[in-house]
């Protein structure tokens, strides 16, 4: 049992696991700034618990996943979506930056996915959780995870096709 | 990770986050926000939607601590927060309830306490357990009781994993029997008569607490009525009352015509998660004399550890005999 509510313990938790949590939060939220806000929101939830936890890091992770899957900052996500939709397509002529562009594009496309699909993709392909572990973390069935991952990846592929083609042409 | 595209996605994530660090003041910011929220919760308490609701602006407003009906916007705001909290949290919900029933026998009102109950729910999984109370728990044909005295397991109802499949299970401990049944829809159809009648006795109708509470609040009958301290927690009080005609068959049996249900939900003013539910159900309007049941359920939100999740499953004790339906138990 750890008293994650004390300032010192929170600092220690962030020193040990903060970078991993921050990276996950940024992916779930779609940007660094929103990732910071998301992680801060999860930390506040931890503080609000007001009691000792066996695994505060696990609690923080689950809170991040669930806040993200629940469409945390839905309106903000929609605004970002509009920005991404309006973003210019890749240059028709392939150049040396195409591969880099593709990776940037994939992150932008990840942001465009519905919250649940985005969360499942991050848990499966970043956190490397199995379908069963992802389902447990999100409190849904394995079938939901499988379907969200499949639809999310298919959508990402579709949206990334201009960049993918440009990379292949190169 | 078994395709090139999936590896590309993973690689993109790695690249996007490789130089990320936790801001130095993040813990401090979280503590500051937490302290501000606590101070806010202790004084202002409930946000009130203003006329400029289209801009989603909300202004804090004090709510009377004892009674007093606030306006519909406040109620809608609080209920939305509760529903969001229920949807966002990933906890095993534990309810501990006590209840009494008072019946009319030849003009006399007789009260008996039902056995205390415990319940757990997690996603589609649920377990409801009733312990014996102080009265006869189950009358046999010779008039004797299966149990007297408290704290013995009496029955369990909920879901069990049978051959890896989630299945409804009903276990009676006094006769060492169990029956299985298909798991039906766990969601409660909001505002149906069944849901409305269930509001008065949450301790026995909580196969899925979040859905139940959501349905209960979604009926449009609930109102924010004030504040209370529950176990040291500042709580917002949401109350409702429903009056419905009894189904004809039941009305004939109890010789009453209507059923009045009252419920009160106490939600943590900070997290908006329910901490206590109170329900009462009373028949009236006929010659039979009222039958009244009252229950109080204290709610805890447990982290979804393997051990806690296991609490939301019924296990069939070894050696118990399977019968074809709960009616045979």
Q: Do residues B101 and B307 touch, judged by C-beta distance below 8 A?
A: no
- Collect all residues of chain A within an 8 Å Cβ-Cβ radius of residue B28: 7
CATH 1.10.540 describes domain A1-72: no
As assigned by CATH, the class of the A74-170 domain is mainly alpha
**A39-43, B12-16, B224-228, B286-290: lowest mean pLDDT where?**
B286-290
Show me where the domains of chain A are located: 1-72, 74-170
Its ipTM equals 0.81
- Which is more confidently placed, A121 or B64? A121
pLDDT of residue B142: 58
Q: Is the pLDDT of residue B317 over 90?
A: yes
Collect all residues with Cβ–Cβ distance below 8 Å to A116 and sequence separation of at least 6.
A69, A138, A144, A148
Query: In the prediction, which pLDDT does B208 show?
Result: 59
Tell whether B34 lies on the interface with A, counting CB pairs under 8 A: yes
pLDDT of residue B305: 93
Residues of B in contact with A121 (CB under 8 A): 9
Q: A71-95 pLDDT, tens per residue?
A: 654 433 333 333 333 333 343 444 4
- pLDDT band for position B184 (cuts 50, 70, 90): low
pLDDT tens profile B254-277: 678 888 888 888 999 888 888 998
Rg for chain B, CA atoms, rounded = 24
Best to test chain B binding among A8, A25, A40 (most B CBs inside 10 Å)? A40
| pLDDT at residue B327 tops 70 | no
Q: What is the mean pLDDT of the segment spanning A3-26? A: 82
Average pLDDT, chain B: 74
Examine the pLDDT at B246 and tell me if it is beyond 80: no
Mean pLDDT of chain A: 74
- Rounded alpha-carbon distances, angstroms, from residue B113 to A4, A16, B80, B101: 41, 52, 35, 6
Most trustworthy range by pLDDT among B131-135, B171-175, B187-191: B171-175
- Which residue from A19, A104, A107 is facing B21, i.e. has the nearest CB? A19
Establish if A107 touches chain B: CB-CB under 8 angstroms.
Answer: yes
Q: What is the mean pLDDT of residues B19-29?
A: 83
Residue B106 is predicted with a pLDDT of 64
3-state secondary structure chain B: CCCHHHHHHHHHHHHHHCCCCCCCCHHHHHHHHHHHHHHHHHHCCEEEECCCHHHCCEEEECCCCCCCCCCHHHHHHHHHHHHHHHHHCCCEEEEEEEEEEEEEECCEEEEEECCCEEEEEECCEEEEEEECCCCCCCECCCCCECCCCCCCEEEEEEEEEECCEEEEEEEECCCCEEEEECCCCCCCCCCCHHHHHHCCCHHHCCCCHHHHHHHHHHCCCEEEEEEEEECCEEEEEEEEEEEEECCHHHHHHHCCCEEEEEEEEEEECCCCCEEEEEEEEEEECCCCCCCEEEEEEEEEEECCCHHHHHCCCCCCCCCCEECCCHHHC
Q: What is the CA radius of gyration of chain A?
A: 18
Q: Which domains does chain B have, with CATH numbers?
A: 4-64 (no CATH), 82-328 (2.50.20)
By Cβ distance, the residue of B5, B6, B20 closest to A22 is B20
Tell me how many residue pairs between chain A and chain B have CB atoms under 8 A apart.
118
Within 13 Å of residue A71, how many CA atoms lie on the same side as its CB?
7
């Amino acid at each position: 049992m750890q008293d994650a509510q004390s300032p010192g313990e929170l600092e220690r938790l962030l020193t040990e696991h903060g970078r991993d949590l921050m990276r996950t939060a940024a992916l779930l939220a779609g940007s660094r700034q929103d990732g910071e806000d998301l992680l801060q929101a999860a930390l506040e939830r931890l503080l609000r618990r007001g009691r000792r936890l066996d695994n505060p890091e696990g609690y923080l992770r689950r809170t991040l996943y669930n806040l993200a899957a629940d469409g945390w900052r839905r309106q903000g996500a929609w605004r970002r979506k509009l920005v991404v939709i309006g973003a210019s397509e890749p240059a028709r002529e392939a150049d040396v930056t195409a591969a880099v562009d593709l990776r940037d594009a994939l992150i932008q496309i990840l942001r465009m996915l519905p919250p649940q699909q985005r969360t499942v993709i991050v848990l499966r392909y970043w956190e490397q959780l199995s379908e069963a572990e992802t389902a447990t973390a999100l409190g849904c069935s394995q079938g939901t995870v499988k379907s969200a991952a499949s639809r999310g990846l298919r959508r990402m592929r579709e949206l990334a096709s201009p960049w993918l083609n440009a990379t292949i042409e190169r | 990770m078994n395709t090139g595209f999936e590896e590309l996605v993973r690689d993109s994530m790695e690249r996007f986050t490789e130089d990320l660090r936790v801001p130095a003041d993040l813990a401090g910011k979280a503590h500051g926000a937490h302290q501000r929220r606590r101070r806010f919760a202790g004084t202002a308490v409930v946000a009130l939607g203003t006329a400029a609701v289209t801009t989603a602006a909300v202004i804090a407003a004090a709510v009377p601590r004892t009674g007093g009906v606030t306006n519909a916007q406040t109620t809608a705001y609080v209920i939305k927060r509760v529903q969001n909290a229920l949807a966002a949290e990933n906890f095993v919900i534990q309810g501990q309830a006590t209840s009494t029933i008072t019946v009319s026998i030849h003009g006399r009102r007789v009260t008996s306490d039902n056995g205390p109950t415990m319940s757990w729910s997690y996603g589609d999984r649920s377990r409801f357990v009733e312990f014996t109370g102080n009265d006869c728990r189950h009358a046999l044909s010779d008039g004797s009781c299966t149990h007297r005295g408290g704290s013995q397991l009496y029955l369990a109802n909920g879901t069990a994993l049978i051959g890896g499949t989630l299945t409804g299970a009903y276990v009676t401990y006094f006769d060492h029997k169990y029956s299985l049944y298909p798991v039906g829809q766990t969601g409660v159809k909001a505002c149906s008569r069944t849901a409305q009648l269930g509001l008065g006795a949450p301790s026995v109708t909580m196969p899925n607490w979040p859905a139940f509470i959501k349905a209960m609040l979604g009926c449009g009958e609930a109102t924010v009525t004030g504040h209370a301290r529950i176990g040291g927690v500042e709580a917002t009080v949401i109350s409702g009352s429903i009056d419905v005609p009894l189904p004809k068959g039941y009305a004939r049996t109890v010789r009453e015509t209507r059923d009045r249900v009252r419920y009160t939900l106490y939600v943590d003013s900070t997290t908006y998660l329910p901490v206590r539910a109170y329900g009462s159900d009373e028949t009236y309007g006929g010659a039979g004399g009222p039958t009244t049941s009252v229950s109080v359920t204290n709610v805890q939100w447990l982290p979804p550890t393997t051990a806690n999740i296991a609490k939301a499953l019924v296990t069939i004790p070894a050696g118990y005999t399977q019968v074809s339906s709960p009616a045979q138990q």
